[in-house]
Structure 1
Amino acid sequence: MKTVSQLLAEKHHRIETIAPNVHVFDALKLMLEKDIGSLLVIEFGNLVGIFTERDYARKLVLQGKSSQNTLVRDVMSTKLITVKPEDTLDYCMQLVTEKRIRHLPVLDGGRLIGMLSIGDLLKAALAEQAATIAQLEAYINS
């Protein structure tokens, strides 16, 4: 099974972040523009939270708050579950399943180096499964 660092190397995409003092409306516009479901929240160079579509729906819409008058800091999730570059993708899949989360920030010595989504993990698992099936078929047919 691959490690987090191996998957990040294949992924080649930019980490999208936002400051906690930005209005939720602006965060939503950025998420729409980038076609993503979450933003990592950075303050003074440190990861302090994550803002997700789920945060928006549960902490803002259902409470009748306005996205134009609410700051990201007021609705972001701050209890983050993170992974390290050397962690396996199996471990990451276990985390997202058990913790019922969709995003895993990747920290290396406390420094943010990437983020994995449940989609990234599923795609990698399916690719590995397909490779295993192809190897078994080749072995059987030889």
Structure 2
Amino acid sequence: MASLLSNVLPEPRRKLVFVYPDVSISQCCELMIENDIGSLLVTDEYNLIGLVSERDLVRKCLSKGLDPNKTTAGDIAFADVTILSFHDTVEKAMQVMTQTKRRHILIKENEEIVSIISIGDLLFYLLEDKARVIEQLENYINH
């Protein structure tokens, strides 16, 4: 049976941090450090504009010599963000991350973004799941 994304989410859920598109990259870095997160959701008053990840900061700003005090979240936000639901499978999330080469997926519930799953969350879940299976098999064999 396929594992659902609802099983992957860390508890308590990681806080989503939103920024406006005019927030500087320097401020984005500070927010990521303060909140111990790897991505920010970029929104205007009503809509999701995109996502800014640590990877985006390096590839789209710093590696190009752009000034992080003048470059904004809106300048580098990745707009084509994948949004899945709690009822989608872990396999689907892994497939999407592999195809898009993105490390974060947003989770929507009742038309509202409620969480974010990173590739690290998926790997942690898969390793824990494999450990449970091994333990069950060992118990079966030994008893």
- Whether TM-score is above 0.5 comes out as yes
Which stretch of structure 1 is more off in the superposition, 82-91 or 122-131? Answer: 82-91
Give the whole-Å Cα distance in 2 for the aligned partners of 1:127 and 1:121. Answer: 10
Q: Displacement of 1:11 after TM fit?
A: 4.5
Give the whole-Å Cα distance in 2 for the aligned partners of 1:100 and 1:34. Answer: 24
| Structure 1 runs not aligned, ≥5 long | none
Structure 2 match to 1:44: 45
Report the 3-state secondary structure (helix = DSSP H, G, I; strand = E; otherwise coil) of the residue aligned with 1:116. strand
The answer to whether structure 1 residue 125 and structure 2 residue 119 are counterparts is no
Which stretch of structure 1 is more off in the superposition, 29-38 or 123-132? Answer: 29-38
Give the whole-Å Cα distance in 1 for the aligned partners of 2:13 and 2:36. Answer: 16
Q: Displacement of 1:36 after TM fit?
A: 1.8
| Structure 2 runs not aligned, ≥5 long | none
Report the 3-state secondary structure (helix = DSSP H, G, I; strand = E; otherwise coil) of the residue aligned with 2:133. helix
Tell me, yes or no, if the aligned pair for 2:21 and 2:42 is still in contact at 8 Å: yes
- Distance 1:60-1:122 versus aligned 2 partners, 3 A rule: same
Q: Displacement of 1:108 after TM fit?
A: 2.3
**Identity, % of aligned positions:** 34
Structure 1 match to 2:140: 139
Structure 1 match to 2:78: 77
Q: Displacement of 1:12 after TM fit?
A: 2.4
Considering only aligned residues, what root-mean-square deviation do their CA atoms show, in Å?
1.6
Deviation digits for residues 16-71 of structure 1, max 9, x if unmatched? 22111211111111111122221111222422200011211111112221111111
With structure 2 as the length reference, what TM-score do the two structures score?
A: 0.90
Q: Displacement of 1:88 after TM fit?
A: 1.1
Amino acid at match of 1:89: V
With structure 1 as the length reference, what TM-score do the two structures score?
A: 0.91
The answer to whether structure 1 residue 56 and structure 2 residue 57 are counterparts is yes
